[in-house]
Amino acid sequence: MRRTVHAKPSAPGTRRPVRAWLGLALLCLGAASAAAQQVAPPGIPADRFPKPLRPVASIISNQWSSEDTRERVGEAGRVMQLLGIQPGMAVADIGAGSGYYTVRLSQRVGPAGRVFAEDIMPDYLAGLRRRVAAKGLGNVTVALGEAHDPRLPPASVDVALLVHMYHEIDQPFGLLANLLPALRPGGRVAILDADRATSQHGTPPALLECELRAVGYRQVAFHPLEGGAVYLAVFTPPTQPPAPASIVPCRDQGSR
Ligand SMILES: C[S@@+](CC[C@H](N)C(=O)[O-])C[C@H]1O[C@@H](n2cnc3c(N)ncnc32)[C@H](O)[C@@H]1O
């Protein structure tokens, strides 16, 4: 037998709190749907890896510079051309920020490809998720990572692209090691950074090469950009992941 339950009329003064709670619940729901998610299980814990022996720059912005400025010099187009990014490829934009590369990679790899837009800042990812939804980019997965672990699915990525963010990675050895299982056979890691001290939001190329070599990566290409102020370095991964305890951090003579 169905029972009809009649709601009690609200006593004067109780209506507003109920509305406030309802508003709060809706707000939370909105925030939850915009919240970034981890798309893969955790890798090796952070405390197993050594820390870098040089300054790590603070996270201060979700973009390197304005998209107009970057488009004027055709930055993303040039980088995608140098890396041979093709329709159907899967690319991870690690440290995606506001998504300058995410949007352009999405267009380049097309419906048969995939872009993992990964970052560690939930606020940045919430904004990026809204941007991706507004543009209807169905081939983009927005993913929350950790400073030592990009948390990407196994064998999901042809190219991992790290743009103007390497110097901000608190745990570069952990991130590079935990990235390995996500790389497909033939996968590459491409790092774009300014040629200056890590404390000045760049990475000297020799330091970068040393830190990647410490995890077993091999540099296979180096492209000076913007008259040498910036560079794109490309690496292939080791066949065997290194034991975290065997990683020896590099000394950087140039960083202050
Ligand atoms: C200067 S912004 C660059 C954003 C974008 N790649 C660009 O070129 O405009 C650096 C980004 O790297 C992110 N980041 C810093 N450390 C990170 C880490 N360990 N893993 C993933 N992202 C990180 C920051 O949250 C920030 O969004």
**CATH classification at residue 156:** 3.40.50.150
Residue 59 lies in a domain: yes
Domain count, the chain: 1
How far is Cα 206 from Cα 195, in angstroms, rounded to an integer?
A: 10
Annotate 90-146 with DSSP letters as a single string: EEEEET-TT-HHHHHHHHHH-TTSEEEEEES-HHHHHHHHHHHHHHT-TTEEEEE-B
Atom of ligand 1 nearest to the CA of 118: 21
Geometric angle at alpha carbon 216, from 211 and 218, rounded to 5°:
80
Query: How many angstroms does the Cα of residue 64 sit away from the middle of ligand 1?
Result: 9
Residue 181 lies in a domain: yes
- Predicted confidence at residue 223, as pLDDT, reads 98
- pTM equals 0.88
Residue 206 lies in a domain: yes
Alpha carbon 55 to its chain centroid, in Å, reads 20
Query: How many angstroms does the Cα of residue 62 sit away from the middle of ligand 1?
Result: 6
Q: List all residues whose CB is within 6 A of at least one atom of ligand 1.
A: 59, 61-64, 94-97, 100, 118-121, 124, 145, 147, 163-165, 168-169, 175
Does 125 or 255 have the greater pLDDT score?
A: 125
Average pLDDT over residues 25-51: 73
- Predicted confidence at residue 68, as pLDDT, reads 97
Contact assessment for residue 215 and residue 247, using Cβ atoms and an 8 Å cutoff: yes
Residue 8 lies in a domain: no
- Predicted confidence at residue 4, as pLDDT, reads 33
The secondary structure element, H or E, covering residue 38 is none
Atom of ligand 1 nearest to the CA of 163: 6
The amino acid sitting at 214 is A
Give, as one character, the DSSP assignment of residue 238. Answer: -
| 79 SS3 class | helix
| 217 SS3 class | coil
- Predicted confidence at residue 188, as pLDDT, reads 98
Segment 113-169, tens digit of pLDDT: 999 999 999 999 999 999 999 999 999 999 999 999 999 999 999 999 999 999 999
Geometric angle at alpha carbon 208, from 52 and 56, rounded to 5°:
40
Range of the domain at 22: 15-246
Residue 1 lies in a domain: no
Res. 35 pLDDT band, cuts 50 70 90: low
- Predicted confidence at residue 254, as pLDDT, reads 58
pLDDT greater than 80 at residue 10: no
Residue 3 lies in a domain: no
| 184 SS3 class | strand
Atom of ligand 1 nearest to the CA of 148: 19
Residue 256 lies in a domain: no
Segment 193-245, tens digit of pLDDT: 999 999 999 999 999 999 999 999 999 999 999 999 999 999 999 999 999 99
How far is Cα 187 from Cα 14, in angstroms, rounded to an integer?
A: 60
- Predicted confidence at residue 252, as pLDDT, reads 73
Residue 251 lies in a domain: no
For 185, the token pair is 């056979």
Atom of ligand 1 nearest to the CA of 63: 9
Strands 183-194 and 230-236 turn out to be antiparallel
Owner of token pair 């090796």: 44
Provide the strand spans (E) within 134-229: 140-144, 157-163, 183-194, 218-225
Give me the residues paired with residue 90 across strands.
Answer: 114
